[in-house]
Amino acid sequence: MSLQVAKIKGIPIRLHFTLVIVSFLTTWAFAAMLMPEIYPGLDISVYWIMGIIGAIILLVSVLLHELAHSIVALRYGLKVREIILFIFGGVSVIEDQDEEASRDFRRV
Protein backbone atom coordinates (compact mmCIF):
# COMPACT_ATOMS: atom_id res chain seq x y z
CA MET A 1 0.00 0.00 0.00
CA SER A 2 2.50 2.55 -1.18
CA LEU A 3 2.71 5.13 -3.92
CA GLN A 4 5.69 5.66 -6.20
CA VAL A 5 6.61 9.35 -6.14
CA ALA A 6 9.99 9.47 -7.86
CA LYS A 7 12.81 7.52 -9.43
CA ILE A 8 16.41 8.35 -8.51
CA LYS A 9 19.31 6.62 -10.30
CA GLY A 10 16.76 4.12 -11.62
CA ILE A 11 15.53 3.28 -8.10
CA PRO A 12 11.79 3.74 -7.51
CA ILE A 13 11.03 5.81 -4.39
CA ARG A 14 7.76 4.79 -2.74
CA LEU A 15 5.87 6.38 0.14
CA HIS A 16 3.87 4.01 2.35
CA PHE A 17 0.53 5.28 3.66
CA THR A 18 1.82 5.12 7.26
CA LEU A 19 4.23 7.92 6.42
CA VAL A 20 1.25 10.30 6.37
CA ILE A 21 0.54 9.42 10.00
CA VAL A 22 4.09 10.03 11.18
CA SER A 23 4.31 13.26 9.15
CA PHE A 24 1.22 14.68 10.86
CA LEU A 25 2.47 13.59 14.28
CA THR A 26 5.92 15.06 13.69
CA THR A 27 4.47 18.32 12.43
CA TRP A 28 2.15 18.53 15.43
CA ALA A 29 4.93 17.69 17.92
CA PHE A 30 7.18 20.39 16.49
CA ALA A 31 4.42 23.02 16.19
CA ALA A 32 2.54 22.42 19.43
CA MET A 33 5.25 21.36 21.85
CA LEU A 34 8.88 21.81 20.79
CA MET A 35 9.02 25.13 18.95
CA PRO A 36 6.88 27.13 21.45
CA GLU A 37 9.31 26.07 24.19
CA ILE A 38 12.40 26.96 22.20
CA TYR A 39 11.01 30.17 20.64
CA PRO A 40 8.27 31.54 22.95
CA GLY A 41 6.00 34.40 21.93
CA LEU A 42 5.72 33.78 18.19
CA ASP A 43 2.47 33.61 16.25
CA ILE A 44 0.84 30.15 16.07
CA SER A 45 1.13 30.12 12.26
CA VAL A 46 4.91 30.49 12.56
CA TYR A 47 5.05 27.43 14.82
CA TRP A 48 3.05 25.41 12.28
CA ILE A 49 5.31 26.53 9.44
CA MET A 50 8.33 25.45 11.50
CA GLY A 51 6.59 22.13 12.21
CA ILE A 52 5.94 21.50 8.52
CA ILE A 53 9.51 22.39 7.60
CA GLY A 54 10.83 20.14 10.37
CA ALA A 55 8.73 17.21 9.15
CA ILE A 56 9.95 17.76 5.57
CA ILE A 57 13.58 17.87 6.73
CA LEU A 58 13.07 14.61 8.64
CA LEU A 59 11.56 12.94 5.57
CA VAL A 60 14.37 14.16 3.30
CA SER A 61 17.04 12.96 5.75
CA VAL A 62 15.51 9.46 5.89
CA LEU A 63 15.35 9.40 2.08
CA LEU A 64 19.00 10.47 1.76
CA HIS A 65 20.02 7.82 4.30
CA GLU A 66 18.28 5.04 2.38
CA LEU A 67 19.54 6.41 -0.92
CA ALA A 68 23.11 6.19 0.40
CA HIS A 69 22.58 2.48 1.22
CA SER A 70 21.22 1.93 -2.29
CA ILE A 71 24.03 3.76 -4.07
CA VAL A 72 26.64 1.72 -2.21
CA ALA A 73 24.75 -1.46 -3.10
CA LEU A 74 24.70 -0.45 -6.77
CA ARG A 75 28.43 0.21 -6.64
CA TYR A 76 28.95 -3.35 -5.40
CA GLY A 77 26.89 -4.71 -8.26
CA LEU A 78 23.77 -5.50 -6.27
CA LYS A 79 20.30 -4.83 -7.63
CA VAL A 80 18.18 -2.31 -5.76
CA ARG A 81 14.49 -2.94 -6.34
CA GLU A 82 13.06 0.08 -4.51
CA ILE A 83 13.19 2.38 -1.51
CA ILE A 84 10.10 2.50 0.70
CA LEU A 85 9.64 5.26 3.27
CA PHE A 86 7.19 4.35 6.04
CA ILE A 87 6.26 5.07 9.66
CA PHE A 88 9.47 3.68 11.21
CA GLY A 89 11.85 5.24 8.69
CA GLY A 90 12.75 3.61 5.43
CA VAL A 91 14.03 0.47 3.81
CA SER A 92 16.13 -0.18 0.72
CA VAL A 93 15.02 -3.40 -0.94
CA ILE A 94 18.32 -4.86 -2.16
CA GLU A 95 18.61 -8.18 -3.98
CA ASP A 96 21.79 -10.18 -3.53
CA GLN A 97 22.29 -11.64 -7.01
CA ASP A 98 26.00 -12.20 -6.61
CA GLU A 99 26.67 -13.46 -3.08
CA GLU A 100 30.42 -13.08 -3.57
CA ALA A 101 30.05 -9.36 -4.37
CA SER A 102 28.32 -8.64 -1.08
CA ARG A 103 31.00 -10.48 0.91
CA ASP A 104 34.02 -8.87 -0.71
CA PHE A 105 33.57 -5.22 0.27
CA ARG A 106 37.21 -4.40 -0.50
CA ARG A 107 37.03 -5.25 -4.20
CA VAL A 108 35.62 -1.87 -5.32
| Active-site residue (options: 37, 66, 99, 100) | 66
Whether residue 66 lies in the annotated active site? yes
**In sequence order, which residues have a C-beta less than 8 Å from that of residue 68 and are 6 or more positions away?**
none
Does an H or E element contain 59, and which?
Answer: helix 44-75
Q: Which residues are catalytic?
A: 66
